[in-house]
């Protein structure tokens, strides 16, 4: 029952093409957002749902444009026929 209410609340925000608006997850973040437990947000409200989804997708490199971790390698293969 609660799940259906949350889904209908989010679906009400969809546009004509049945997609969420580009700025759907734009929300002011509370202080200490990175240290807050995701389960502390009230997902019964639209803003709480947004904060919950943002917090569960948050990682240490959230928003970084560069990968500072393990470098990526490109591998090429060459076949020689005689």
Per-domain residue ranges for the chain? 2-57
Q: What is the pLDDT of residue 74?
A: 80
Q: What is the pLDDT of residue 14?
A: 95
Q: Tell me the HSE value of 10 on the side-chain side, using a 13 A CA sphere.
A: 16
Q: What is the pLDDT of residue 33?
A: 87
Instruction: Report mean pLDDT in 10-residue bins for the chain, 82 residues.
Output: 93 94 91 90 94 84 63 81 88
Q: What is the pTM of this model?
A: 0.69
CA distance 55 to 40: 10
Q: What is the pLDDT of residue 68?
A: 61
Q: 48 and 30 in contact (C-beta within 8 Å)?
A: no
Q: What is the pLDDT of residue 24?
A: 92
């Amino acid at each position: 029952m609660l799940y259906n209410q949350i889904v209908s609340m989010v679906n009400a925000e969809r546009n004509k093409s049945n997609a969420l608006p580009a700025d759907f997850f734009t929300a002011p973040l509370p202080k200490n957002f990175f240290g807050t437990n995701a389960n502390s947000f009230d997902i019964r409200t639209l803003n709480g749902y947004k904060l919950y989804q943002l917090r569960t997708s948050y990682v240490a490199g959230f928003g970084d444009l560069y990968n500072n971790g393990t470098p990526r390698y490109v591998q090429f293969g060459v076949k020689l026929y005689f």
